[in-house]
Structure 1
């Protein structure tokens, strides 16, 4: 093996090693670093030559580390953490020249609302940067934000650790949706009509996500729930297939569904609390110029609510 003080060794290769250890998948690791497939393959070839070891072999579970890679991993990861949090965090972030992946914890609802405007902004102002979306369990979210595996979490999130910083982006009322093929129901539902109908409920089954269903039940309103699903995106198709059913969702989501021309909005028979969309980050990255820039972009694009995105 060559000595580590070899002047020909490119320290950027350690980023490749660390990403492969984290992702265990060459394509995902390349995306995380903003590299092409050929660039990732070339870097891995150089790492293997330097350490005189395969380091990662293709297996059923993806890229599996060799014993030599497992031995190197803790030291390399610690070094990369030091560089990220003690060195790079003090640099000035220049989005037009940056080559970085930004990772966001999002539900599918938040993906609908945030990703497309962000992509347009990145194409115009940070074309060398990559967006990556994650779905992280609530119990692991604070850890992901602290470690840097995720830069921000965005959504209607509650019960997160108090140590996390947060910023309100906008609030959205709730509306009840019905298939456009159902013309029997008026725009304003009565309580009797609401309780007599069959309902589809979006249930993320995660205590970190705010639930308005509890408020409905606490008000003594009884619904005939026939389906609970964790997927917002299936709602308009399900309502179109079952026109007699209802679903109560945030209006921000209903406006996204309007493009499918399958559902129409009804006013719920009771006043429901507004859903608050916030962005969350860890104090460890509060002064990181790249994180500060990203938070500012999201606040600028979405701070006035749905449809306010602008370049």
Structure 2
């Protein structure tokens, strides 16, 4: 006989409730927005804790055992109280909230996407404030799990499994060159591209984790001179060092080109678009404020033109 657990995870009450109502593991998992494997694991934990099968597969679905029926009134009563009393007061009232939202994003995100998001946030949640975190990709999952950060926004590489994510839009790459380069016209040749030295932006500091790492899948080795975690360094470096170039997201290049020191040309090799996504931790998937913020972010950036 399996050893009974000494501590009960209160999240299992919702699992018990869903199984009582649905009598089907798949439908119960869908009701709680869980995977079927996670639901099966939760049922196993319930069985171990109560030392009883609780729900038995029959021709008419998962039927509760006498022990489960004995517990059902308590479980349904608890969930009824939560729905009737607690959740009524748990909604997020954006217009009156004074919450500070914390976002993980790069300096590119701050320059290009944050102004648009803040503009909308100030309209619908005028008393809320925003804090931006720039942390190592390896620390993002922990920041989301602890609540230090509400969302991580961007084209983030090597994100750990277990986080929820939602694609917001896609972007293409272009190449930045010094505006004074007379040997590069409106276009650049493949030979010129690979002959020049490159700047790579990588949050981890490793060139293989760079935002433009897809360039290296082309098959020709680049001459990488500088690897930096900061996008804002790029135009300053190219302005003072005309032999350097960088392949960056198009919208960022457009912003830099407005300052006249650099200009953008189409990258002479075919590159796939990259996706901008928002990431959050399952712990806050049903949090009212986090859910509201995710919906706002989706509305602000959904359908954003290239």
Instruction: Place the TM-score, normalised by the shorter chain, in its bin.
Output: 0.5 to 0.7
Are 1:301 and 2:288 an aligned pair? no
State the alpha-carbon separation in 1 of the partners of residues 198 and 138 from structure 2: 29
Q: Report the CA distance between 1:115 and its aligned residue.
A: 1.6
Q: Report the CA distance between 1:155 and its aligned residue.
A: 0.9
State the alpha-carbon separation in 2 of the partners of residues 206 and 116 from structure 1: 27
State the alpha-carbon separation in 2 of the partners of residues 261 and 93 from structure 1: 45
Counterpart of 1:188 in structure 2 is: 187
Q: Report the CA distance between 1:118 and its aligned residue.
A: 2.1
Aligned pairs, how many? 220
Question: Post-superposition, which runs of at least 4 consecutive aligned residues in structure 1 deviate over 4 A?
Answer: 87-90
State the alpha-carbon separation in 1 of the partners of residues 278 and 246 from structure 2: 26
TM-score by length of 2: 0.66
Question: Structure 2 unaligned runs (5+)?
Answer: 1-85
Are 1:159 and 2:158 an aligned pair? yes
Q: Report the CA distance between 1:215 and its aligned residue.
A: 3.1
RMSD between aligned residues: 2.3
CA pair 275-89 structure 1, distance change in 2 beyond 3 A: farther
Counterpart of 1:227 in structure 2 is: 226
Larger Rg, first or second structure (1 or 2): 2
Query: In 2, are the aligned partners of 1:101 and 1:131 still within 8 Å (CA)?
Result: yes
CA pair 94-305 structure 1, distance change in 2 beyond 3 A: same
Query: In 2, are the aligned partners of 1:239 and 1:263 still within 8 Å (CA)?
Result: yes
Matches within 5 A, 1:47-196: 91-196=90-195
CA pair 153-221 structure 1, distance change in 2 beyond 3 A: same
Counterpart of 1:253 in structure 2 is: 252
Counterpart of 1:47 in structure 2 is: none
Query: In 2, are the aligned partners of 1:169 and 1:279 still within 8 Å (CA)?
Result: yes
Query: In 1, are the aligned partners of 2:100 and 2:128 still within 8 Å (CA)?
Result: yes
CA pair 88-218 structure 1, distance change in 2 beyond 3 A: same
3-state SS of the aligned residue for 1:159? coil
Query: In 1, are the aligned partners of 2:104 and 2:134 still within 8 Å (CA)?
Result: yes
CA pair 187-156 structure 1, distance change in 2 beyond 3 A: same
Q: Report the CA distance between 1:206 and its aligned residue.
A: 5.8
Counterpart of 2:196 in structure 1 is: 197
CA pair 229-136 structure 1, distance change in 2 beyond 3 A: closer
Question: Structure 1 unaligned runs (5+)?
Answer: 1-86
Q: Per-residue displacement from partner, 1:81-113 (whole Å, max 9, x unpaired)?
A: xxxxxx789611111100100000111111112
Q: Report the CA distance between 1:262 and its aligned residue.
A: 2.2
State the alpha-carbon separation in 1 of the partners of residues 301 and 134 from structure 2: 21
State the alpha-carbon separation in 2 of the partners of residues 118 and 217 from structure 1: 33
State the alpha-carbon separation in 2 of the partners of residues 218 and 123 from structure 1: 42
Counterpart of 1:82 in structure 2 is: none
The structure with higher relative contact order (CA 8 Å, sep 6+) is: 1
3-state SS of the aligned residue for 2:92? coil
State the alpha-carbon separation in 2 of the partners of residues 274 and 210 from structure 1: 16
Q: Per-residue displacement from partner, 1:282-309 (whole Å, max 9, x unpaired)?
A: 11111111111111111111122368xx
TM-score by length of 1: 0.65
State the alpha-carbon separation in 2 of the partners of residues 94 and 223 from structure 1: 51
